[in-house]
Amino acid sequence: MITCLACRNQEYEGELFCSNCGARLWGAPGETLPTITFDTSRLREMTRPVAATTAPIKLDLKPGQISISISGTGQSLMLEGKPEYVIGREGQENEMPEVNLGPHGAREKGVSRRHATLRVDRRQLLLTDLGSSNGTWLNGAQLSPHEPIRLESGDEIRLGRLTIKVHFNL
């Protein structure tokens, strides 16, 4: 039997979610334990979608650097030095997001002008969909608008139909 760390309920070995409190019962040792306290940021943390396991890409990033690679093009952008970056494409009146995906087919692929933000919060990187028309996906799961979610280096983000990968060293 295994014990749910959130509510001490006993479950069979191999069970994935606690039948008593819904907490996740699997994961690497040392990971944040599920909790049933009402704390939105932590709750989001628990349901963070997991990146598909691919070979980790070795990028030589200096501390503070964020690299965005545009899937299928081999191109990438390097970000550094700001607390927040808007991802989108250039608008009509010289509105220019920090991460301009316009040159990478953003318009055709349904990326909004102000699609999402990346925010550096201490050593974390948070992704927030800004209510974009075609949505933002993290590792295949759609995000609710305006709800920040923590990223991990190597995560795959889909903006409308444009896919990017984010690596960082924070």
Partner 1 sequence: MPTGDLYGLLGVPPSASADDIRLAYRGAARRFHPDVNSSPGATDEFKLIAEAYAVLNDPGQRSQYDASLKHKNAAPVLALRSLLSRDKVPVLNEPQVVYALVEVRPALPPAELPTPPVNLALVIDRSTSMQGERLDQVKAAVAQLIDSLRENDTLAIVTFSDKADVLVPAQRTAGDHKITAKAKASTLHASGGTEILRGLLRGMMELHQNLSPASVNHLMLLTDGQTYGDEGDCLLLAALAAVDGISISGLGLGDEWNDKFLDELTAATGGSTAFIGAPDQLTKFMQDKVRGLGAAFSERLSLRVLPDQGVRLLTAYKVAPEPGPLPVEEMPLRLGSLPKDQALSLVLKFLLPPITEGARPIARLALTGDVLSLNRRGERATEDLAVTAQANFQAAAPPPALVDALSKLSQYSLQEKAWQKAAAGDIGGATRLLSTLGTRLLSSGQADLAKMTIAEAKRLERSHVLSEDAKKRIKYGTRALMLPAPPVSGSGRLRS
* 57 in contact with partner 1 (CB under 8 A): no
Listed in sequence order, the residues at least 6 apart from 35 whose beta carbon sits closer than 8 Å to its beta carbon are 6, 23, 42
Instruction: Sort residue 135 into left (φ over 0), alpha (ψ -120 to 50) or beta.
Output: left
Site string for partner 1, 137-156 (x = CB under 8 A): x-xxxxxx--x---------
Structural element, H or E, at residue 40:
helix 40-46
Site string for partner 1, 90-129 (x = CB under 8 A): --------------------x-------------------
Q: Looking at 8, 32, 43, 72, which residue binds partner 1 (CB under 8 A)? A: 43
Nearest distance from residue 62's CB to partner 1, in Å?
Answer: 30
Which residues, in sequence order, are bridge partners of residue 78?
67
CB neighbourhood size of 111 (10 A): 29
Between residue 7 and residue 36, which ones bind partner 1 under the rule CB under 8 A? 11-22, 24, 26-27, 36
CA distance 75 to 68: 9
Q: Token pair for residue 129?
A: 């969909």
Binding positions for partner 1, rule: CB under 8 A? 1, 11-22, 24, 26-27, 36, 38, 40, 43-44, 46-47, 49-50, 52-53, 110, 134-135, 137, 139-144, 147, 158, 160-161
